[in-house]
Amino acid sequence: MINSPIRLYLNNKNDEGCRKQSLTWRPPGESQGRRREAEGAGRAGSEEDARAACSGSGAASVWDCTSQGSTASAGKMAAIWNALHKAYLLINYEWADPRVQSLPLMTRPFTVLGLVVAYALFADRLGPWIMRDRKPFELKTTLIVYNALQIIANIYIFYKFGSQFWFTTYSWRCEPIDTSNSPSALEMIRLVNLYFWLKITDLLDTIFFVLRKKNNQISFLHLYHHSNMVFLSWGGVKYFPGGHGTFLGLINTFVHTCMYTYYLIAVIYPHNIWWKKYVTQLQLVQHTMVGLHLAQLFVSNPCNFPMLGPMLLMPQIIFLILLFSHFYQRTYCRKAAQDSKAKAS
């Protein structure tokens, strides 16, 4: 090992004379020691800067200054939490209709949210995983009873909505929410709450698909539509229990009466039913009618119906129209074109 420095002489031809530059090599231990000294000096400088900043803030020590910073951060988090808590109280209690607060599942949104999340997880992941090595259940008797009860419940709500409100006293142009405790207003609350529970029972459609291993029936449209209707009907009961928005319940119960009648016939007589596509057409007509009925309020709102409801519902209606249109075109139009080509060939 060479203990003396190694001098390297570099000639610069651009200069008039020769300039001698020396590069000194040092052992690795010496370089690491110098690096540690530099890092230590940097840390010391940082601590001095911190002490200077703290002394400027009036803190007695660096620890006090750090405590002040932690207290400030905790104060900001507490302020954010308080703001969120106030927003939750405002939305969940002050904006809600006080007449429905004692109804089941109306106090807080978390139960309904958890129910829908559990439903989606079971339909998409857990259910197919449980059934993967099992034979599909037939459930014929169960489906006959279930579809028959759905038909009866939908006919009942449709009849009540129509005979007591939409076909008698309600205005098709604009209808406000009756916020009184009159028998008519309380009857409307009872009906919209019953409609909400009917949307929860609709989730059994998907459960039966899973148990029968009809996973091809569980599309994004199916899951989104069923989940979305639970949230919409829950919000209808909690914030808008009556008035213009209940037109959705009127027309939806009529459509579901036809739909569950088709399901009942398909269980009893499991053959290709010629009017199956008309059920999808009826659903498209339903969403279009609801959308047009809501659109009136964006032009003129003489009854002062709360516009938050239509503003939240209208995008959902448009999205469902697009989804059902895509489903109809893929299921029926393309299939008909393919059948025509097959016959021609």
Q: Give the CA count within 13 Å in the CB-facing half-sphere of 337.
A: 5
Q: Please provide the distance, in angstroms rounded to a whole number, between the alpha carbons at the two ends of the chain.
A: 91
Give the integer Cα–Cα distance in Å for 325 and 204. 24
Please confirm, yes or no, whether 244 is among the known catalytic residues: no
Q: Name residue, tokens 């014929």.
A: 140
Give the integer Cα–Cα distance in Å for 303 and 312. 19
Q: How far is CA 121 from CA 10, 206, 330, in A?
A: 74, 11, 26
b/e per residue, 26-46, with b = 16+ CB within 10 A? eeeeeeeeeeeeeeeeeeeee
Which of 338, 116, 331, 323 has its CA nearest to residue 232? 116
Active site residue: 85, 222, 225, 326, which one?
Answer: 225
Neighbours of 279 (CB within 10 A): 16
Catalytic residues: 225
